[in-house]
Amino acid sequence: MSPRSSGQRLLAFDRRLGVRFVAGADEAGRGSLAGPLVVAGVLLDYELLRGSRVRPLGGLNDSKQVEHAERELLFRAVVGAAAKISVRMVPVREIDARGLHRSNLAALRGVLSELHPPAEACLVDGFRLGQAAPPHTAIVDGDARSAAIAAASIVAKVLRDRVMRRLDALYPRYGFMSHVGYITPAHSKAVRAFGPCELHRRSFDAACYQAA
């Protein structure tokens, strides 16, 4: 399937909901050993999302299926097309204190609540957020099905990667520039050699911590 047809397919999924305002929420960094969790909400106005405003979204897809350079282009396209974007960055200390899942759900509730005008359809990648959240629908593999969720995944991934690459200058021993905090053989080797830094999630049961 071509990149353009993927975007058309995701946009068509949202349009079939039959409402004007569709919000999507997703996170980046859930499985990372180090660094923050970044959660994004994107509101799309399907009454205005036509013609020149929608064409840049032709390559929209799940952020995990898109290379770095293309994600940067899609990020700019989403910023130009979205009616509203909301972002929350959950620091390591909160992840360790509250737990990853609780922190993630709270941030997803937060970004959806901050989107205005309120969405007529709120879509979340995979998770039910509880009664404290706006009315929403959890969609399995939603970032590969809904344009609003895919847009949120692009925003969250691009912003998190930028943060981690900047933090590489402060913590050059760990190689954040390349793996942006995820577990790789090189990352694990660095943790064993130097010990974890303050960016590492100590609540994670990682083998490299035991050897550090």
pLDDT of residue 3: 41
Residue 2 has pLDDT above 50, yes or no: no
Distance CA 186, CA 188 (A): 5
Residue 132 has pLDDT above 60, yes or no: yes
Residue 197 has pLDDT above 80, yes or no: yes
pLDDT of residue 1: 40
Q: Which residue has the higher pLDDT, 192 or 53?
A: 192
| C-alpha distances in Å from residue 151, one per residue of 91, 192, 194 | 22, 37, 37
Task: Tell me if the pTM is above 0.75.
Answer: yes
Q: What is the pLDDT of residues 162-191, one digit of tens each?
A: 999 999 999 999 999 999 999 999 999 999
| Residue for token pair 């996170």 | 27
pLDDT of residue 212: 55
User: Do 28 and 160 form a contact (C-beta atoms < 8 A)?
Assistant: yes
Q: What is the pLDDT of residues 97-110, one digit of tens each?
A: 999 999 999 999 99
The pair of three-digit structure tokens given for residue 112, joined into one six-digit string: 């959806």
Q: Which residue has the higher pLDDT, 116 or 1?
A: 116
Residue 51 binned pLDDT confidence (cut-offs 50, 70, 90):
confident
Torsional sign, CA 172, 178, 182, 187? negative
**Average pLDDT of the residues in 80-90:** 97
Q: What is the pLDDT of residues 10-21, one digit of tens each?
A: 999 999 999 999
